[in-house]
Amino acid sequence: MTTETTETTKRRPHVLRDRNAALFLSVVVVSGFGTTALWLTAGIWVKDLTGSDSLAALTTFCMWLPVLAGPLLGAVADRFRRRPLLVSVNLATALLLVSLVAVDTPDRVWILFVVLFLYGMAGTLTDAAESALVATAVDRSLLGDFNGLRMTAQEGTKLLAPLAGAALFTRFGGLPVALLDALTFALAAWLIVRLRLRVREDVKPQRTEGNWADGARHLWRSPVLRPLVLAASATMVLSGLNGAMIFTVVDKGLGRSPAYTGVLYAVQGAGTVLVGVLAGPLLRRMPERVLAAAGIALFAVSTAVRALPYDAAVLASSAGVGLGLPCVLIVALTAVQRETPDALLGRTSATATSLVYGPMTAAIALGSGLVAVLDHRWVLAGVGAAGAVTALGLGLAFGFRSTNRRTTAIT
């Protein structure tokens, strides 16, 4: 390590001591808590009002569907100053949630579905705007640490928010959960107002030529971003297939009750929390593409191990998935923020999100069909093999170079 690199490392502030990074992470925790609580409660709410399992499942679909419109919503994020946009959308979402006071009978449940769809639209738009604003508000040397801790914060809320939402719904009904979520959005807007931007946003954003597809073109033409985003997308498709097998693994593989899936999800969540904390230091010690490929390989091996009919193997598999899967997502997001011009960052970030998470929904549906006609062990073995090929393909795309000049931009 050179003297210059050593001095740079000594001067690097911890991510939590960076005011803007800490504020953004607070936004993630606050809004993520409310969103996760509502995500669970919405299905229970619809089930309670209508008695329909299919309508209850439709709530999740309504919230995820707007991800497919990511490129269009990302273009919106590039046309406005991002901090005012985020504040406005968060406050508007808070007011939108208040409208759920009208949902008290089965014939008004449609209002909840409309709100959830608009909620998903707002979430996709804010994700694009936040990703773009983070790239200018947080020190570039801290982006890897920030994105790792962001995933840790998101996963951490998933461990607590569902319990809080379910308890609140059981005691008071769905409306208090919606109002709690509205309060978290208002608090998130206040935290965003407190940001101190390193680069002043234009009073009137520059209207660059182009359209919503520019983000996709930028991803495809970038030799750095294209393989990372494609690898992340392929891995999430495999993750969807793996996730669709979990109840069959618990039932036929282990002979346990469906409630045991909660244990597996908790172990996986703990792995994700851990790797989120370690992501920043790991990115400073190895090329980012190696970390992404290693994470995919660990996910692949862990998925194949899940086919074994032993509790210890399946628990270890869940931990491995939690540790491996986030690596490529953290690396891809950090690379998008670093390799994209500010004027394109909203569109590019939203397009990358659509490419990574959009196909996963279809994969979950496909997995649900496969489990009815194929032995789950063969499906898991196939997913593991495909994951290994994905990891190898990503490694070959970059040659597993031990040094990488672009990596030094975040170290």
**CA–CA dist 344, 338 (Å, integer):** 12
Q: Identify the band that residue 9 occupies on the pLDDT scale cut at 50, 70 and 90.
A: very low
Q: What percent of the chain has pLDDT over 90?
A: 29
Q: What b/e sequence results for 324-357 when a residue is b if at least 16 CB atoms lie within 10 Å of its CB, and e otherwise?
A: bbbbbbbbbbbbbbbbbebbbbbbbbbbbbbbbb
**CA–CA dist 148, 153 (Å, integer):** 9
Residue with tokens 């993750």: 239
DSSP state of 307: T
pLDDT (0 to 100) of residue 200: 53
**CA–CA dist 220, 216 (Å, integer):** 6
37, 162 contact by CB (below 8 A)? yes
Q: Identify the band that residue 87 occupies on the pLDDT scale cut at 50, 70 and 90.
A: very high
In terms of Cα–Cα distance, which of 112, 316, 355 is closest to 215?
355
What tokens were used for 66? 């707007």
354 CB-side CA count, 13 A:
26
**CA–CA dist 85, 17 (Å, integer):** 26
Reported as a single tens digit per residue, the pLDDT across 353-369 is 888 888 887 787 787 77
Q: Identify the band that residue 6 occupies on the pLDDT scale cut at 50, 70 and 90.
A: very low
Residue 76 makes CB contacts below 8 A (sequence gap 6+) with: 85, 125, 128, 346
The full set of domains in the chain, from first to last, is 15-197 (1.20.1250.20), 211-411 (1.20.1250.20)
297 CB-side CA count, 13 A:
11
Reported as a single tens digit per residue, the pLDDT across 180-221 is 999 999 999 999 988 876 555 544 455 455 567 888 888 899
Average pLDDT, the chain: 83
pLDDT (0 to 100) of residue 305: 94
Amino acid at 102: A
pLDDT (0 to 100) of residue 144: 82
Reported as a single tens digit per residue, the pLDDT across 51-82 is 876 677 678 778 878 888 888 888 888 888 88
**CA–CA dist 80, 101 (Å, integer):** 31
**CA–CA dist 193, 213 (Å, integer):** 30
pTM: 0.75
pLDDT (0 to 100) of residue 54: 65
Other Cβ atoms less than 10 A from the Cβ of 62: the count is 18
pLDDT (0 to 100) of residue 402: 43
Q: Identify the band that residue 4 occupies on the pLDDT scale cut at 50, 70 and 90.
A: very low
Residue 318 makes CB contacts below 8 A (sequence gap 6+) with: 264, 265, 267, 268, 271, 302, 306
Give how far Cα 70 sits from Cα of 77, 298, 353, 356, 392, Å.
10, 29, 7, 11, 29
